[in-house]
């Protein structure tokens, strides 16, 4: 029939050729418009994106009175209003000097950290000369990034000085480890565009709005980048409304997933066929769930959402660990768990509280390690930072006893309540200690038969000897270290001077998130 139309009337009126031409023109217009639209939306946001230049100086955890030489690094940040630039915590960690340069500007402005959240790798900077940011358009936060939709990452990746925009697709949503603190899991979104160092802290934009902050790359995989999605950013911004960062709440219990696949376990706990859930296996004493949830409870729902056998819930159309709900709460919020306890269904309410375990497994920043030196013996507290002296693969290469305690301390009664897990890490040679044999696994257990749980206590005991000899026992080691109390006292100051130890100790409570 079309053919007949064409052959019937070739002189004007409805014409197939013209139809085809019109179609192609229309297609061309759509393409131009969408890329123009995208370009236009990028144009609108780019002026709110900053390059951040940082000079940083981390402390040396194995020579704890020293810092490393200053080093320079850079990242990206963007304006969110009220004189605030948001970026990643790791961009500005251990910073001694920060400057920010607006896209299109020729000058850099000094900035300082207003809030920093190491547990979720976010930070807010404020420019010292406030006026310069007045004519900026704050970037708007959007919703959760949509899977399989395109996003643009804007920033200053290494390999050039200009603003760069990379496009990619949102590929995966999960509840995964944030490597900055390397101890906590939060909601995490994966994109398939290249995110390089330098991009960190930059906005990830979808339909003109920010849906995430670019921040991690997977070292083994190519074309994999990770972004902090909006729910985590919003939680952070809400948290600091009261001018104090409280941090992500810890739910404080362990669960066993997949156990309800087993018919025997189901029968034992009385979980009906049509229900699913995970088994609570351990509740930490420091946590908000202690006394509320019990080992042996089966969690079937969280805030009304059913929990799957693998511990997942449906979160924005994707299956993610049920823990994401509690993780996105503020301190003081109440979370309701549907619990099957001894065959009966009940509701348990847990209030998010700023409770922390005694020992933090997290990497720390902008703090000095706690340490104490006496008679040339250098004592410090165990931390992930100390273990990192053995490199990226410290979980294999660091001394066995130390990495074992680091991973299991919650279950080791000797250390579960300790303020410091004290290590003797070095000896500054002097006559009083010349026969002391050093090792890489010296964990202080007792001094003069008294169990030591903090460096402060160690200092008090060592500096106030009751006997002519002081005996230090190490955990899981047979041989004690004997010190001549008088020689130690006499030589202590001289040793510190000779080795230029300054400060001679650091016992401040500077645990930050």
Shortest distance, CB of residue 274 to other proteins, whole angstroms? 17
DSSP classification of residue 262: S
Degrees to nearest 5, angle at CA 117 with 292 and 379: 85
| Active-site annotation holds for 297 | no
Residue from 2, 11, 263, 344 binding other proteins (CB under 8 A):
263
Q: How far apart are CA 23 and CA 16, in angstroms?
A: 10
Q: How far apart are CA 228 and CA 215, in angstroms?
A: 7
Query: What residues from 410 to 439 belong to the interface with other proteins (CB under 8 A)?
Result: 411, 435-436
DSSP string, 137-204: PPPPB-SSPPTTSEEEEEE--SS-SS-EEEEEEEEEEEEEE-TTTTS-EEEEEEESS---TTTTT-EE
Told to check if 273 binds other proteins by CB under 8 A, we report no
Told to check if 254 binds other proteins by CB under 8 A, we report yes
Query: What residues from 387 to 406 belong to the interface with other proteins (CB under 8 A)?
Result: 395-397, 400-401, 403-404
Told to check if 26 binds other proteins by CB under 8 A, we report no
Owner of token pair 């955890």: 61
Partnered with residue 321 across adjacent β-strands are 312
Exactly one of 48, 200, 366, 383 is catalytic; name it.
200
* Residue with Cβ nearer other proteins (139 or 401): 401
* Residue with Cβ nearer other proteins (245 or 322): 322
Told to check if 482 binds other proteins by CB under 8 A, we report yes
Contact flags string 307-326 toward other proteins, x per CB under 8 A = --x-----------------
Q: How far apart are CA 86 and CA 237, in angstroms?
A: 10
DSSP string, 328-349: TPPTT-EEEEEEEETTEEEEEE
Tokens, residue 319: 């299956």
Q: How many residues can be counted in the chain?
A: 513
Count the alpha carbons within 13 Å of 85 in the hemisphere toward its beta carbon: 34
* Residue with Cβ nearer other proteins (424 or 513): 424
Give the total of residues touching other proteins (CB under 8 A): 38
Query: Could you tell me which stretch among 54-62, 144-152, 407-415, 422-430 binds other proteins (CB under 8 A)?
Result: 407-415
Q: How far apart are CA 159 and CA 465, in angstroms?
A: 60
**To which H or E segment does residue 232 belong?**
helix 230-239
Residue from 259, 293, 377, 381 binding other proteins (CB under 8 A):
259
Query: Residue 132: is it exposed, middle or buried by C-beta count within 10 angstroms (0-12/13-18/19+)?
Result: middle
Q: How far apart are CA 198 and CA 189, in angstroms?
A: 19
- Distance between the two ends of the chain, CA-based, in angstroms? 74
Owner of token pair 């020992």: 359
Told to check if 32 binds other proteins by CB under 8 A, we report no
Other CB atoms within 10 Å distance of the CB of residue 9: 11
* Residue with Cβ nearer other proteins (265 or 345): 265
Residue from 112, 285, 471, 494 binding other proteins (CB under 8 A):
471
| Active-site annotation holds for 90 | yes
Told to check if 486 binds other proteins by CB under 8 A, we report no
Exactly one of 53, 56, 73, 90 is catalytic; name it.
90
* Residue with Cβ nearer other proteins (17 or 267): 267
Told to check if 450 binds other proteins by CB under 8 A, we report no
* Residue with Cβ nearer other proteins (26 or 469): 469
Told to check if 25 binds other proteins by CB under 8 A, we report no
Q: In 3-state terms, what secondary structure has residue 93?
A: coil
Query: Could you tell me which stretch among 107-115, 228-236, 380-388, 482-490 binds other proteins (CB under 8 A)?
Result: 482-490
Exactly one of 121, 184, 445, 492 is catalytic; name it.
121
| Active-site annotation holds for 105 | no
Tokens, residue 245: 């960062």
Told to check if 182 binds other proteins by CB under 8 A, we report no
* Residue with Cβ nearer other proteins (170 or 436): 436
* Residue with Cβ nearer other proteins (257 or 333): 257
Residue from 35, 137, 158, 281 binding other proteins (CB under 8 A):
281
Residue from 24, 26, 68, 282 binding other proteins (CB under 8 A):
282
Query: Residue 348: is it exposed, middle or buried by C-beta count within 10 angstroms (0-12/13-18/19+)?
Result: middle
Tokens, residue 244: 């104090």
Contact flags string 325-364 toward other proteins, x per CB under 8 A = ------------------x---------------------
Q: In 3-state terms, what secondary structure has residue 327?
A: helix
Told to check if 476 binds other proteins by CB under 8 A, we report yes
Catalytic residues: 90, 121, 200
Which residues contact other proteins (rule: CB under 8 A)? 254, 256, 258-265, 267-268, 270, 281-282, 309, 343, 395-397, 400-401, 403-404, 407-408, 411, 435-436, 469, 471, 476, 478-479, 482-484, 487
């Amino acid at each position: 029939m079309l053919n007949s139309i064409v052959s019937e009337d070739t002189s004007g009126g409805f014409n197939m050729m013209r139809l085809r031409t019109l179609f192609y023109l229309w297609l061309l217009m759509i393409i131009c418009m969408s890329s123009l639209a995208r370009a236009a939306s990028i144009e609108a946001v780019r002026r709110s994106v900053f390059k951040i230049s940082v000079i940083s100086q981390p402390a040396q955890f194995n020579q704890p009175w020293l810092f490393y030489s200053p080093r320079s690094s850079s990242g990206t940040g963007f304006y969110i209003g009220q004189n605030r630039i948001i970026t990643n915590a790791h961009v500005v960690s251990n910073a001694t000097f920060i400057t920010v340069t607006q896209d299109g500007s020729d000058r850099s402005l000094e900035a300082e950290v207003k809030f920093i959240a190491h547990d979720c790798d976010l930070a807010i900077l404020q420019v010292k000369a406030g006026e310069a940011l007045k004519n900026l358009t704050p970037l708007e936060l959007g919703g959760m990034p949509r899977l399989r939709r395109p996003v643009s990452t804007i920033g200053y990746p290494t390999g050039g000085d200009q603003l760069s925009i990379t496009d990619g697709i949102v590929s995966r949503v999960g509840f995964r480890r944030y490597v900055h603190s390397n101890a906590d899991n939060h909601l995490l979104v994966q994109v398939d565009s290249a995110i390089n160092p330098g991009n960190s802290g930059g906005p990830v934009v979808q339909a003109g709005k920010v849906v995430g902050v670019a921040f991690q790359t997977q070292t083994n995989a190519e074309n994999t980048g990770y972004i902090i999605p909006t729910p985590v950013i919003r939680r952070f911004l809400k948290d600091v409304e009261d001018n104090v960062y409280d941090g992500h709440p810890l739910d404080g219990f362990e669960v066993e997933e997949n156990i309800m696949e087993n018919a025997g376990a189901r029968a034992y706990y009385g979980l009906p066929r049509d229900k699913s859930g995970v088994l609570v296996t351990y509740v930490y004493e420091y946590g908000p769930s202690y006394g509320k949830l019990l080992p042996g409870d089966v969690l079937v729902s969280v805030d009304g959402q059913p929990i799957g056998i693998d511990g997942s819930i449906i979160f924005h159309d994707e299956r993610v660990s049920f823990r994401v709900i509690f993780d996105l709460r503020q301190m003081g919020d109440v979370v309701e768990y549907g619990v099957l306890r001894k065959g009966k269904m009940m509701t348990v309410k847990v209030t998010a509280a700023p409770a922390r375990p005694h020992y933090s497994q997290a990497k720390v920043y902008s703090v000095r390690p706690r340490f104490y030196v006496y008679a040339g013996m250098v004592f410090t507290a165990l931390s992930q930072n100390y273990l990192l002296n053995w490199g990226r693969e410290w979980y294999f290469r660091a001394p066995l006893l130390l990495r074992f305690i680091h991973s299991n301390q919650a279950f080791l009664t000797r250390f579960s309540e300790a303020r410091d897990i004290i290590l003797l890490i070095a000896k500054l040679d002097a006559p009083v200690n010349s026969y002391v044999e050093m090792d890489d696994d010296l964990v202080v257990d007792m001094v003069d038969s008294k169990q030591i749980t903090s460096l402060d206590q160690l200092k008090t005991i060592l500096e106030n000897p009751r006997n002519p000899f002081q005996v230090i026992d190490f955990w899981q080691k047979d041989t004690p270290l004997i010190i001549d109390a008088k020689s130690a006292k006499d030589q202590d100051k001289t040793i510190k001077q000779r080795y230029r130890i300054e400060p001679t100790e650091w016992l401040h409570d500077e645990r930050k998130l």
